[in-house]
Amino acid sequence: MIRHEHHTIEQRARRLHERFEALYGHRPEGVWQAPGRVNLIGEHTDYNLGYVLPFAIDRQTLIAVRRVDPDAAHADEIALASTMDASGDVPEVTRMRLADLAPGTPGGWAAYPAAVSHVLATEYAGRICGFDLLVDSTVPVGSGLSSSHALEVATIVALNELFHLGIDAERMVRLTQRAENDFVGAPTGIMDQSASLLSQAGHALFLDCRSFASRAVPLPLTARGLNVLVIDTRVAHALVDGGYAQRRASCEAAAARLGVSSLREIDEVHLLDELVEPLRRRARHIVSENGRVLRTVQALECGDLNLVGQLLTESHASMRDDYEISCPELDLAVSSALDAGALGARMTGGGFGGSAIALIDESVRPQVESAIRRAFDRAGYAEPGIFVVAPAQGAGRV
């Protein structure tokens, strides 16, 4: 795989133009980008209609697209290719008629852009036709930084503009959620695509998943000499199976027992005492996590980054002990980062693998990194990927 991290988005877009032309024999009509995200705090709260505080990262999925001539014989054919899915330098192309798209067809990575195309073809029948598409991404795949939503969001912003669909951001969030839930089969909420669509550079996105109200909260990392470090444990997380759906079901069961429409309606943990275990602990994570998101927003507004760090660490303990979605590698990433001087650390994303984040002073970065690497090596774990992320701008045309 070619690494692009040191290239600007514009440089990558130009290269993608060339590769598109080499692959399809004509130029794309444009290039769109959508970033991956980390969640600063507020985990598994989105589908409980609670609060989240993610930010878009400076790693993006780029897609180049050209509409098929509507009078052509293959006017409803879509062609999907990714630079990641290339033998040598030439990506494999998956071709399908829009009318033939269905859950499971196509499978693999092409399911994501196909899912979005299918949802749009259903909702906006007669208004979209075939297209050629080429993807290039610097969002690590399967690391919990939401490369899947970056791909879906890049697809929807491109198709929305090219086919003049006039879809607003909130509806794009709903449509990509439906694409991922019904077509890909991952029962995810609305946080990831909201972060990718709505984030502002230098800010985190405070989102109320019940009202969909959102606000950009300044995240003064550079100004304060801080870094957010991502530690990719290389443990594959798989949202389509097991744990995630089970946790979701537990929350629904807890809300039903308590007679509320969602756990968002509960704001005091003692109200959960009537629940049986493990439902009580599951619900306690959601209720306490909502409180921590609100306190993190306040702490950021007061510029108290030490308190932000502390809240991140509390959030991790809650996910490890109450929600039970961590794993030994994530716990080790967090504990070794804290031991080496991080202000706070937690797993981020759906859990059961993927990545952790650590809020650190940039002066201690070398020792935090080597402490984590040493700890992983001693435990016999695979070498983690460690890199800094910055809060970046949400999706749009390049």
Residues with a catalytic annotation lie at: 192
Q: From the list Mg ion, ligand ADP, none, which binds 275 (C-beta under 5 to 8 Å, kind-based)?
A: none
> Max CA-CA distance within the chain?
65
Nearer to ligand ADP, 117 or 310 (CB): 117
In the block, tokens 């509390």 appear at 314
- Judged by CB under 6 A, the residue of 48, 60, 82, 336 near ligand ADP is 82
User: CA 213 to CA 257: how far, in whole Å?
Assistant: 28
Binding of ligand ADP by 239 (CB under 6 A): yes
Show contacts with ligand ADP in window 31-70 (CB under 6 A).
61
Show contacts with Mg ion in window 144-173 (CB under 5 A).
146, 148
Tell me how many residues contact Mg ion (CB under 5 A): 2
DSSP state of 235: P
Q: Give the CA distances from residue 189 to residues 77, 181, 244, in Å, rounded to whole numbers and listed in that order.
A: 30, 9, 11
Residues β-bridged to residue 283: none
Residue 24: count of CB within 10 angstroms of its CB: 17
Where does this chain touch ligand ADP (CB under 6 A) — which range of 17-25, 50-58, 97-105, 134-142?
134-142
Do the Cβ atoms of 57 and 51 come closer than 8 Å?
no
Residue 106: count of CB within 10 angstroms of its CB: 19
3-class DSSP assignment, residue 138 = coil
Closest approach of Mg ion to the CB of residue 148, in Å? 3
DSSP state of 311: H
- Written as six digits, the tokens of 332 are 């080790």
In the block, tokens 């196909």 appear at 114
Nearer to ligand ADP, 115 or 300 (CB): 115
User: CA 236 to CA 351: how far, in whole Å?
Assistant: 10
Binding of ligand ADP by 85 (CB under 6 A): yes
- Judged by CB under 6 A, the residue of 117, 143, 176, 326 near ligand ADP is 143
Do the Cβ atoms of 138 and 110 come closer than 8 Å?
no
Binding of ligand ADP by 250 (CB under 6 A): no
Closest approach of Mg ion to the CB of residue 364, in Å? 31
Nearer to ligand ADP, 61 or 310 (CB): 61
Question: Binding pattern to Mg ion, positions 87-126, x when CB under 5 A?
Answer: ----------------------------------------
- Judged by CB under 6 A, the residue of 32, 55, 109, 244 near ligand ADP is 109
- Judged by CB under 6 A, the residue of 94, 148, 177, 335 near ligand ADP is 148
Binding of ligand ADP by 269 (CB under 6 A): no
- Written as six digits, the tokens of 96 are 């399908």
Residue 354, Ramachandran bin (φ over 0: left; ψ between -120 and 50: alpha; else beta): left
3-class DSSP assignment, residue 218 = strand
Nearer to ligand ADP, 146 or 214 (CB): 146
Q: Give the CA distances from residue 77 to residues 117, 170, 301, in Å, rounded to whole numbers and listed in that order.
A: 11, 28, 50
Binding of Mg ion by 176 (CB under 5 A): no
Q: From the list Mg ion, ligand ADP, none, which binds 135 (C-beta under 5 to 8 Å, kind-based)?
A: ligand ADP
Where does this chain touch ligand ADP (CB under 6 A) — which range of 10-18, 118-126, 138-146, 283-291?
138-146
User: CA 64 to CA 265: how far, in whole Å?
Assistant: 43
User: CA 175 to CA 43: how far, in whole Å?
Assistant: 21
Closest approach of ligand ADP to the CB of residue 147, in Å? 3
Nearer to ligand ADP, 241 or 339 (CB): 241
Question: Binding pattern to ligand ADP, positions 178-207, x when CB under 6 A?
Answer: ------------------------------
Where does this chain touch ligand ADP (CB under 6 A) — which range of 66-74, 147-155, 249-257, 297-305?
147-155
CB neighbour class for 289 (10 Å; exposed up to 12, middle 13-18, buried from 19) = buried
Number of H helices, E strands in the chain: 10, 14
For binding to Mg ion (CB under 5 A), which residues are involved?
146, 148
Residue ranges in contact with ligand ADP by CB under 6 A:
61, 82, 84-85, 108-109, 112, 135, 137, 141-148, 151, 239
